[in-house]
Structure formats: structure tokens, C-alpha cells
Amino acid sequence: MSKKRILLVDDEEDILILLETVLIKEGFKNIHKATNGVTAIKVGKSIEPDIIVLDIMLPDMDGYEVCKQLREFTYSPIIFLSAKSDDIDKLLGLSVGGDDYVTKPFSPKEVAYRIKAQFRRVDQIKQNKTSEVKLIKFGDIEIDEIKAEVTKNNQLINLTAKEYQLLLFLVKHPKQILSKELILDRVWGKGYEGHLNALMVHIHHLRQKIENEPSMPEYLLTQRGLGYKFVPGGKS
């Protein structure tokens, strides 16, 4: 974290000092500051920041315009700071290339946590790209991630979008016992924690399509009272 380059942009010196102090306490050391849009763009080109915290109300140009110009040479996350809390302002910030939005007055620690969350997201994306597997094989099953297709003995299996997403999630976490709640959260999203029946039905359908003997599954195993587990080599 200490090597991450952070650019703070705000025309209020007190806010810059406060944010810098908190970020240093959180382990960040490479912090740069700007009090106007022109300087922010110039510094951005010079240091190539890993993340930018950008106030919308600046003396020479608004943060939206600064963001547009920053996006011409950087894809680093941009967190907007604004005294405006209207949804339209948040949507505008996201539409011009922002990644997050914090409303003033704010807790400096909240901004620090938002920064850390963005770094985790970026690091995860980089990890996925470097370790990305386009073809996944187990038994007589092959998953082609590029085509989003699954075949068995070279014959295409007709999976629904949700069945495919569920299978891919399980396959990418081999030999791990995954709780039903976790699977629902990752595959269906927030708010589906109680839809256990939907998960059970989808597991049943997947077994019907990929297992040689669905009633005695080799790959998609039930861990009673715990959840499910994918075993790539088949049940031993």
C-alpha cells in the first residue's frame, strides 16, 4: 500500500491536510496534492497516480471536466468529493468516468476505506487477467470462457445464463466448501440470501446436464449442513 501513488485534489487546504494525515496513518506514503484543475491534470500526467480523489467544486474548472481530461491518459480509479448529494450529480460523476462518490461533510477515514476498496478491486482485476483461464476441463466436460459454452464429450450442453454462472463460480473455487448463502450472494447478488430453493433447483439441473449419474454426482457434491463443493477430479 505504501507504494501506491495517491493524488488529492481540493481547493481547501484544510481538507487536503486532513486527508493526507489520515492516509499516512493508514499506511500510505506516496501522496500528492493539487488545489485546482490545471495543476491536477499536470500532476496526474507527471506521477501517473494509482488513484485520484477529486473535488467537484474547483476554482478554475469543475471536477467533471478535470475527470474527462484525466481519463484521456489514465484509467486509475477516481473518487469524487462533493457538497452535492443529489442522485443526478452522482450519476453525472459516474458517467464522466468516476468510480465512486463521497458527499461532504465526510469522515476522512471513510475516504481512506473507499481508497482501499478501490485498490482491492483493481488488484483483483489484475490478478484475474494474469491468471485467466480460457478453457477449463474436468472429466469429459469442457468450459470455454471466451464463447461462454460448456460441452460434454464434445457435445454442446444447453445451459441457462444462471446455470452457466453458477457452474463457473463453483469450478473456480475447486475443493472448497461454499455455503449456500455465499453462492447466492456471488451468483444471484444481494437480496437473494433467502432463495435457497432456487439454488437447489439450479444445482439439480446442472447435475442432470453434466453428471454421468445425477443421483450419484461426482463433481458437484453436497456438504450436508454446509453447502456445496466442486471436485474437479471426481469424487474419490
Q: What gap in Å lies between CA 199 and CA 96, rounded to an integer?
A: 38
Q: What is the mean pLDDT of residues 160-168?
A: 85
**Residue 188: per-residue pLDDT:** 79
- Higher-confidence residue: 28 or 162? 28
Helices (H), 26-175: 37-47, 63-70, 87-95, 108-130, 161-171
Grid coordinates standing for 119?
485498490
Q: What gap in Å lies between CA 205 and CA 107, rounded to an integer?
A: 48
Q: Which pLDDT band, with edges at 50, 70 and 90, does 1 fall under?
A: low
**Residue 23: per-residue pLDDT:** 95
DSSP reduced 3-state for 17: helix
Average pLDDT, the chain: 87
- Higher-confidence residue: 206 or 147? 206
**Residue 129: per-residue pLDDT:** 52
What are the residues whose beta carbons fall under 8 Å from the beta carbon of 183, sequence distance 6 or more?
166, 169, 170, 199, 227, 228
Of 27-36, 89-98, 174-183, the one with minimum mean pLDDT is 89-98
Q: What gap in Å lies between CA 184 and CA 196, rounded to an integer?
A: 8
**Residue 126: per-residue pLDDT:** 61
**Residue 39: per-residue pLDDT:** 97
Q: What is the mean pLDDT of residues 175-196?
A: 81
Helices (H), 104-160: 108-130
Q: Which pLDDT band, with edges at 50, 70 and 90, does 198 fall under?
A: confident
Give tens-digit pLDDT for 32-71.
999 999 999 999 999 999 999 999 999 999 999 999 899 8
Q: Percent of the chain at pLDDT above 70? A: 90
Beta bridge partners of 30: 5
**Residue 194: per-residue pLDDT:** 61
**Residue 82: per-residue pLDDT:** 85
pTM: 0.56
Give tens-digit pLDDT for 92-125.
777 777 878 888 888 999 999 989 988 887 776 5
Q: What gap in Å lies between CA 153 and CA 143, rounded to an integer?
A: 12
